[in-house]
A = this chain, B = another copy of it.
């Protein structure tokens, strides 16, 4: 049985790790230390043959996740597979299948076949829906359904799982007397909370965390410790419930590492700009630098239709302060299941945030691309500009919609700054600095 974390601690470099080190431009020994200490996770399921494993965490390129999946209202398997492929095409590093409608096993297996990125799921969705189908209600879900669903999904090749292990009985009880403006907005979190309240029992994933670790270890997958209590609006940001859950999660991170299981921690949520840094510092400190997977953060509540932008702002700032993995948000967030076009827009907005973070961190591959774009702009070399763009087709379409008389664009035309300057400023090339 292969276990990347334990092997890394012994200094053994699996070929997966060697390849990632080369791709990311990081020293192999350093990467092994980061994996061994939990600061980097390598996401892959040992049973899945078509996965291109990726690393997430300190010293690596900032990664982006895209969610796809059916809902109880819209079930179109081909559409969801297309969305997964679009997300992959525009640079999503992982895909999460969050299906809750139709044949959930079928769509998951098809998505796993269709893409090479690691695929993640939230198994409590399928478990809860099975409980509804077989017993009439989520709250009638028995604990075995949860673990059996997890095992089934891992056998299918799922590479990482969101598990809401921090939604404990004490936090949910606390909400009764200390309500939040918007309660809980995490679906998985609410499934657990409803079950806990109805059955007056502890969250099975928390109560049986050791068993969960055993299962994760068998497939050498990564657990993503979900934030069921993430704030659903600016007013609930950085509150008691959110921090209490983070404290619980931080204990479980330690437990996972002792067992040799890789974990990430999921974070908020709706957070104002001025609280993002403190949220990252808290997570990174409490969770001993475990990779941080942020959902947003959304820096305002008032822009439905544009939450990909709201979230790119929050994600960029989170990344600047140390977040490692950005979950995309689409323009249809808070309104509807996304269209294919909205999936693309969501991925690109998140890629912009992630790339801006990599630039800020001095990532050489990232800097090189921006440098080449600057060179292309200086030369008014439009073909190069399109090629280097995150979305070459859109850039070309905007440029081409009106024919220009010379090599400039329709914005400045003959008064193009780049063109004019090159006419009047003759650079003394002998004196050009070396760097």
Contacts and interface: CB of A to CB of B under 8 A. Distances in A.
Interface of A: 71-74, 100-101, 125, 128-129, 138-139, 172, 175-179, 181-187, 189-191, 193-194, 197-198, 232-236, 272-275, 299-306, 308-310, 312-313, 316-317, 319-320, 331-337, 339, 348-349, 352-353, 355-357, 359-361, 367, 369-371, 373-375, 377-378, 385, 388-391, 394-395, 398-399, 401-402, 404-405, 408-418, 420-428, 431-433
Nearest to A354: B300
B331 A398 contact: yes
B183 A413 contact: no
A332 B396 CA distance: 10
B398 A234 contact: no
Contacts of A427: 175-177, 179
Given A186-B417, A317-B320, 4 more contacts: A183-B378, A302-B355, A302-B369, A305-B390
A369 B416 CA distance: 42
B413 A301 contact: no
A316 B310 CA distance: 10
Contact of A100 (B299, B313, B413): B413
Contacts of A273: 316-317, 319-320, 356-357, 359-360
Nearest to A100: B415
A12 to B, nearest CB: 35
Contacts of A422: 183
B374 A232 contact: yes
8 closest cross-chain pairs (CB), A and B: A233-B374, A72-B413, A305-B394, A274-B360, A273-B360, A299-B356, A73-B413, A194-B424
Contacts of A421: 183-184, 190, 193-194
Contacts of A349: 306, 309
Contacts of A367: 234-235
Could you say which of A74, A317, A417, A428 has the most chain B C-beta atoms within 10 Å of its C-beta? A417
A352 B19 CA distance: 40
Contacts of A391: 303, 305-306
Contact of A428 (B177, B431, B433): B177
Contacts of A304: 385, 389, 395, 398
A174 B319 CA distance: 36
Contact of A183 (B128, B233, B313, B425): B425
A332 to B, nearest CB: 5
A301 B377 CA distance: 10
Contacts of A414: 72
Contact of A181 (B198, B374, B395, B413): B374
A283 to B, nearest CB: 19
A274 B234 contact: no
B179 A356 contact: no
A32 B201 CA distance: 61
A340 to B, nearest CB: 13
Contact of A410 (B71, B129, B233, B423): B71
Contact of A233 (B187, B193, B373, B402): B373
